[in-house]
Chains A and B, each alone.
Chain A
């Protein structure tokens, strides 16, 4: 398996940029626009230092163009690296797309954005792993929380609603869920003290038995193993009918793509168990 190196991809992109006429055209264009703006500024202020304004405008225009090009290098290198990294594993990669919004966690927040979609056949069938951003507005400020999400659909609805959220974060996620305030029982306690310490289990009111039937001892142990592997990962799991989302509060970075494999390694047994419970293979999302 050919393993791409992010540094190499980034250096390649930088070389490509420096050798492209388009880039230097852009820098020249920036300089020309800067000259024009500098001249206009000098005339407007009837200054005797017009030459300095022209020169300053040219420098600023050229530097802006250089910076824009440099920033573009990073985003292109990121996309190219992830595409190659995914291809080496026979996965697909899409840099942009619409976020999934078919579970309550994924619907939460004032706005949502998504990027870096990886798709493969990890839990036995089609599934998508991507970067999900939940944006909450607080006056003029925006509070962005980034999650790595594994999303897939089961062949049949497994349970109306099951949410497993980190205890510390259950409040801010759970309370903002739309239209389900009265219906959700957030205090389902299972037999494991450790599970209760780390997670809050929620289901629809009066459906506790369904949750207990689904969360067998081996399922609980798998959840605890995940928690031990990512103690600060603020992991959440949600099943809404046949839609399943696993979330962890992390950021995907081309500098550490191993995170994706580590997460899949831990999520795979839980996903496989859900698919077995659903009784058939999952269909692609």
Chain B
């Protein structure tokens, strides 16, 4: 009977270790999801600011219509993409176009002095800072999660349990 108990105890021990490891994997994956939600919120905030920026700049810079339509196109492209990997490129392009629009706006002295533009510019700057911070947190979580599932012994069973490496979010922020 004794060898049977030993085997059972071993099974129970291994089962307990697996359960703990599984819980840790779930926790780490949930952190990645949670951090991504943060990025999503900040990106949505950025997208919401674009029509307001266009509306203000349009009143002064009437012949920059090409830039505005480019901005609108990039915004809808970025909104259509989902997930970190797919969103990285369109969001980078959108951020660059946003930076360009602000630079154009700043070349109009009357617009640069307008209070609504100044407050919007501040809001954009804050949003870009939050996007950058949320990206740092997300990428940090992804790094920890990916390292965990790719190292021994978790690498043996992570794939079987449906845990796959996540993509980093590599989008740039607008230069405000």
Contacts and interface: CB of A to CB of B under 8 A. Distances in A.
B141 interface: yes
A217 B141 contact: no
A121 B143 CA distance: 39
B158 interface: no
A191 B39 CA distance: 11
A192 B130 contact: no
A220 B133 contact: yes
A225 to B, nearest CB: 10
Interface of A is mostly: helix
B140 A193 contact: yes
B176 interface: no
B133 A216 contact: yes
B31 A193 contact: yes
Contacts of A224: 136, 140
A138 interface: no
A220 B137 contact: yes
A192 B31 contact: yes
A191 B130 contact: no
Interface string B1-45: 000000000000000000000000000100100110110001000
A218 B130 contact: yes
A194 interface: yes
A191 B37 CA distance: 9
B133 A221 contact: yes
Nearest to B32: A193
A193 B144 contact: yes
B140 A194 contact: yes
Nearest to A189: B31
Interface in A157-183: none
B126 to A, nearest CB: 9
Interface residues of B, number: 18
A221 B136 contact: yes
Contact of B35 (A192, A197, A216, A218): A192
Contacts of B136: 217, 221, 224
A197 B34 CA distance: 16
Nearest to A222: B133
B109 to A, nearest CB: 29
B145 interface: yes
Contacts of A196: 31
B133 A191 contact: no
A194 B134 CA distance: 13
Contacts of B35: 191-192
B129 interface: yes
Contact of B133 (A193, A197, A218): A218
B42 A191 contact: no
Interface string B121-137: 00000000110111011
B38 to A, nearest CB: 6
Given A217-B38, A221-B136, A193 B130 contact: no
Contacts of A191: 31, 34-35, 37-38, 137, 141
Interface in A175-218: 191-197, 216-218
A194 B35 CA distance: 12
The listed residue with most B CB atoms (<10 A of its CB), out of A194, A196, A217, A224, is A217
Given A195-B137, A217-B38, 20 more contacts: A191-B34, A191-B137, A192-B31, A192-B137, A192-B140, A192-B141, A193-B140, A193-B144, A194-B144, A197-B144, A216-B130, A217-B130, A217-B133, A217-B134, A218-B130, A220-B133, A221-B136, A221-B137, A224-B136, A224-B140
Interface of A: 191-197, 216-218, 220-221, 224
Interface of B: 28, 31, 34-35, 37-38, 42, 129-130, 132-134, 136-137, 140-141, 144-145
21 contacts: A191-B35, A191-B137, A192-B31, A192-B137, A192-B140, A192-B141, A193-B31, A193-B144, A195-B137, A196-B31, A197-B144, A216-B130, A216-B133, A217-B42, A217-B134, A217-B137, A218-B129, A218-B132, A221-B136, A221-B137, A224-B136
The 6 residue pairs across chains A and B that have the minimum distance between CB atoms? A217-B133, A218-B133, A217-B134, A221-B133, A191-B34, A192-B137
